[in-house]
């Protein structure tokens, strides 16, 4: 490292953050005290050169120098741009699913990542985090409020493999009960946290919404784990968060042109086929093997007149009954 770079690094570290300030003569004296052979005039030139990183002067006599609000020099050894970008995206999009204890420990690296990207300014890594966005599929519903301490206790119990005692009020019930939970996993879906667990001495695995939980306490007893349990298998092969659980059907639809194009880009299944309907200009027939879940039904309802369910007949009848009920509501 050259003497000039070392001097610049030392100078940046000597400048205080607003509202504090140090004059060029004070900063020059501090550099000399650190063993740098530098003239006052060179220090003044250095300060003006480094002002592009967020240094500001107050215009006084002598001028006082500070880091502007929201800026400071990255730590040393400095975080690489790639790591800073990765941590900033983790903070923005994945922080909600980190265990609370780990999230607390990550606050300093997250802060360092933000300062590093600010320091990089208009460089490609500095621009990237402001050039990408993640949007929800539907309206931006506010997440339900989780009682204080519940998420932290659930995270700790899951991380340590301990039992959890908490009050839980099931949906539709006016009163709650106290249970001993054996945590198996934590799932975040559409803004809602679910604890995957068994309860008391029962062996059936269930999902519990954290907003319905109160007064959670981590116990010292080890949590019981069903033999062979795997969260990925539970979610993707057993369709644990789909209702009902994974009845396979052959779906046949008639769809408008825009929806045919959309499904051509985002397929319903690997065996999906799309065939234009000659007798119905502008529409297409879509077939695919899918799971007959409530999510499928809600998605079909949301498409309105852009889709007609042909098969299975049971689903078509359900859609027809829904349409008749809606017609009565809207008169």
What is the C-alpha separation between 191 and 143, in angstroms, rounded?
A: 5
Answer yes or no: is 19 within a domain: yes
Give the distance between the most distant pair of CA atoms in the chain. 89
Answer yes or no: is 134 within a domain: no
Answer yes or no: is 154 within a domain: yes
CATH code for the domain of 273: 3.30.70
pLDDT tens across 149-205, in order?
898 899 889 988 999 999 999 887 888 899 999 999 998 887 788 999 999 989 889
Counting the structural domains of the chain, the total is 4
* Residues 202 and 140: beta-carbon distance below 8 Å: no
Does position 241 have pLDDT exceeding 70, yes or no? no
Nearest Cα residue to 241 out of 290, 299, 195, 180: 195
Q: pLDDT tier at 70 (50, 70, 90 boundaries)? A: low
Quickly tell me which residue has 């099931």 as its tokens: 170
Cis link prior to 62 (omega < 30° from 0)? yes
pTM (2 d.p.): 0.57
Domain range for residue 231? 150-237
Answer yes or no: is 75 within a domain: no
Instruction: For residues 210 and 165, state if they share a domain.
Output: yes
């Amino acid at each position: 490292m050259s003497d000039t770079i070392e001097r610049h690094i030392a100078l940046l570290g000597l400048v205080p953050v607003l509202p504090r300030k140090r004059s060029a003569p004070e900063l020059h004296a501090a550099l000399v005290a650190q063993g740098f052979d530098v003239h006052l005039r060179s220090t003044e030139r250095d300060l003006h050169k480094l002002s592009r990183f967020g240094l500001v002067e107050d215009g006084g006599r002598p001028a006082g120098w500070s880091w502007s609000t929201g800026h400071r020099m990255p730590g040393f050894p400095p975080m690489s741009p790639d790591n800073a970008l990765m941590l900033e995206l983790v903070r923005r999009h994945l922080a909600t699913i980190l265990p609370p204890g780990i999230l607390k420990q990550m606050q300093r690296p997250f802060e360092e990542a933000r300062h590093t990207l600010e320091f990089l300014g208009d460089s490609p890594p500095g621009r990237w985090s402001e050039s990408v966005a993640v949007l929800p599929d539907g309206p931006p519903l506010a997440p339900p409020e989780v009682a204080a301490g519940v998420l932290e206790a659930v995270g700790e119990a899951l991380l340590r493999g301990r039992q959890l005692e908490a009050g839980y009020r099931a949906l539709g019930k006016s009163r709650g009960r106290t249970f001993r939970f054996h945590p198996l996993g934590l799932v975040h879906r559409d803004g809602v946290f679910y604890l995957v667990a068994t309860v008391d001495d029962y062996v059936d695995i269930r999902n519990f919404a954290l907003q319905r939980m109160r007064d959670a306490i981590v116990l010292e007893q080890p949590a019981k784990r069903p033999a062979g349990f795997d969260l990925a298998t539970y979610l993707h092969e057993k369709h644990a968060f789909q209702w009902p659980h994974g009845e396979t059907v052959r779906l046949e639809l008639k769809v408008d042109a825009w929806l045919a194009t959309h499904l051509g880009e985002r397929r319903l299944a690997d065996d999906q086929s799309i065939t234009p309907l000659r007798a119905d200009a502008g529409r297409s027939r879509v077939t695919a093997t899918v799971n007959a879940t409530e999510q499928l039904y809600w998605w079909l309802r949301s498409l309105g007149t852009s889709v007609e369910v042909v098969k299975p007949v049971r689903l078509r009848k359900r859609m027809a009954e829904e349409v008749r009920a809606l017609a009565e509501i809207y008169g």
